[in-house]
Structure 1
Amino acid sequence: MQDTALRIDKWLWYARFYKSRSLAAKHVQAGEIRVNSQRISKSSVVLKVGDVLTFALGDTVRVVEVAALGDRRGPAPEARLLYHDLAGQIAASRNRPGIAAE
């Protein structure tokens, strides 16, 4: 396992959000990904456990928290252990009574 940080392009590939590391890097360099609400454009940005990523993937906006860094691109069940999907939590909080939508 990596110790404390991992390049974002590698992590996105390990977590199976993109089919190749170069495709992940392309989306990062296009400024399509935010880390902790900050738009980034360099694939050399390093992620740490606890960082929150926001990005569009197809017709869906993904909001995920980095749960682990990983050390390889494993099978899908292993890849899902690398992150917590926060998009469902955000949608649920917006649908609660007494909570105004933004």
Structure 2
Amino acid sequence: MSEKEKLRIDKYLWSIRLFKTRSQAADACDKGKVKYNGDAVKASKTVSVNDEYEVKTEAKRWRIKVTGLLHNRVQYSEAVKYYLDITPAEELERLEFQAASFHTGKRLSKVGRPTKKQRRDLDGLMGE
């Protein structure tokens, strides 16, 4: 294999934009969230064309097939040409149900803590 044909799995997952940073991709490999043939892979595993990987990210559980090697991070529209999403349909249905009940943790506007104006009014009311 020439130097251009060798590509680490963490760099590949970062370059096709499944992870925001390369270190997040490497952490996912270390935690066993990236699998090849059902076995967890190390971040240093060499990627080959036609390999199939299971990747678990925060948002989704992916099944991807490598269609090309991408060494640098590029636009999303270009990056999708280097892998094929073969995620099973039942996984996509589960994701849709989960998204409907997903709570972001953000508070609705004007609910919860008082605004500055409300705080001033409360302080004036309390005599402070």
TM-score by length of structure 2 reads: 0.63
Task: Map Cα deviations across residues 62-87 of structure 1 (whole Å, 9 max, x no partner).
Answer: 00001111121000011111100001
Q: Which runs of 5 or more residues in structure 2 are unaligned? A: 91-128
Query: How many percent of aligned residue pairs carry the same amino acid?
Result: 31
Q: How much is the aligned-residue C-alpha RMSD, in angstroms? A: 1.7
Task: Give, in whole Å, the separation in 1 of the partners of 2:39 and 2:6.
Answer: 17
Counterpart of 2:49 in structure 1: which amino acid? V
The equivalent of 2:79 in structure 1 is 79
Task: Give, in whole Å, the separation in 2 of the partners of 1:20 and 1:13.
Answer: 6
Task: Map Cα deviations across residues 34-74 of structure 1 (whole Å, 9 max, x no partner).
Answer: 0233222x211111001101022234210000111112100
Q: Which runs of 5 or more residues in structure 1 are unaligned? A: 93-102
Counterpart of 1:7 in structure 2: which amino acid? R
Within 5 A, what are the aligned runs for 1:12-27?
A: 12-27=13-28
SS at structure 1 position matched to 2:18: coil
Q: Which has the higher contact order (CA 8 A, sep 6+)?
A: 1
Which structure has more strand as a fraction of its residues? 1
TM-score by length of structure 1 reads: 0.77
Residues 52 and 3 of structure 1: CA distance in aligned 2, closer, same or farther (over 3 Å): same
| Rg larger in structure | 2
The equivalent of 2:89 in structure 1 is 91
Within 5 A, what are the aligned runs for 1:1-102?
A: 3-40=4-41, 42-87=42-87, 90-91=88-89
SS at structure 2 position matched to 1:16: coil
